Amino acid sequence: MNYFWVISAKRLKQGVTLALALLFAAGVVYAESENMQVFLPVDSGPSAIYSVQTDKKQVALTFDISWGEERTGPILDVLEQKGLKKATFFLSSPWAESHPDLVKRIQDMGFEIGSHGHRHDNYSSYNEEQIRTQILKADQILKELTGKKPTLIRFPNGDFDKRVLKIADQLGYKTIQWDTDSLDWTNPGKDRIVKRVLDKAHPGDIILMHASDSCRQTHEALPEIIDGLRAKGYEFVTVSELISGTEVKSKAVE
C-alpha cells in the first residue's frame, strides 16, 4: 500500500518563510560577528563612586580642604559640639603640610582622611606621568603626617577621565565623588545650603561640603544640617563604612 503525505499550500508557505528568516538571521550574525561584543558585558575599568544603593538610612558627610585656616576650626567645633564622630575629610597635601595641627585634630577626632591630590588642578589635562606624580606626592605627604596611607581620593574640582581613574586604581585608591552637592562653595546663604542638603539627602548618599576659607557659610549651616538629618532618622558614617559591602552607584566616563 502506498502512503502519501498531503501538505497544504498554507503550511508549505509557512515553512518556506521560516527557513528564509533563519537564513537571513544567520547572514546578519555572520556579517556583524566583529561587532558582537557590543551586546556582551565588557569591563569598563575603574569608576568613581557617587553613592551606594542601600535601604539603610546612612549618609557620609565629606569635607574638601584646599586652602585657608579660618574655616576648618569652626567646622570641627560644630562637629564636636554635635557629637558627630563620623565624617570624611579630603585634604589637599600642600594645605595639610602647612597645617599639621589641624590635620592632627581631624585625625584625633576620629575622622577619616582621604586625599584631595597635590596641585589643585584638573588632572584630566595632565599626561599619565604627571597624574601619577600628583597622586604620589599627596600620598607621601599625607602618609607622613598621619602615619597611614590614604585609600580614598577626590580629585580637585571633581575632575577626572578614564586615565586618571585607572592610575588612581593602580595606586590603591578608590575615587570618590558625591550625589548631593551642598553648593556651600557658592556662598548662597545659610538657609539655602541647609534646605538643599535636607531636600536632596537620601540613603547611601555622599554629601559634598567644604572646609576651605572660600566657603564662608558652611559652619553656620552645619548645625541645622546635622540636626535635620538626625530628625529624619539618618546615621552618619565614613565613606569607607558606607561603601563597604554595598552596591555603589557610579557613572560612565567618556
Active-site residue set: 64, 210
C-alpha cell at 100: 599639621
CA distance 171 to 246: 22
Q: Look up residue 83 and give its amino acid.
A: G
HSE at residue 146, side-chain half, CA atoms within 13 A, is 28
Q: Count how many residues are written for the chain.
A: 254
SS3 call for 250: strand
Residue 59: count other Cβ atoms within 10 Å of its Cβ.
25
C-alpha cell at 41: 558585558
Torsion sign, CA atoms 137, 95, 241, 162? negative
CA distance 174 to 115: 10
CA distance 91 to 99: 10
CA distance 247 to 235: 18
Please measure the distance between the N-terminal and C-terminal CA atoms of the chain and give it in whole angstroms.
Answer: 74
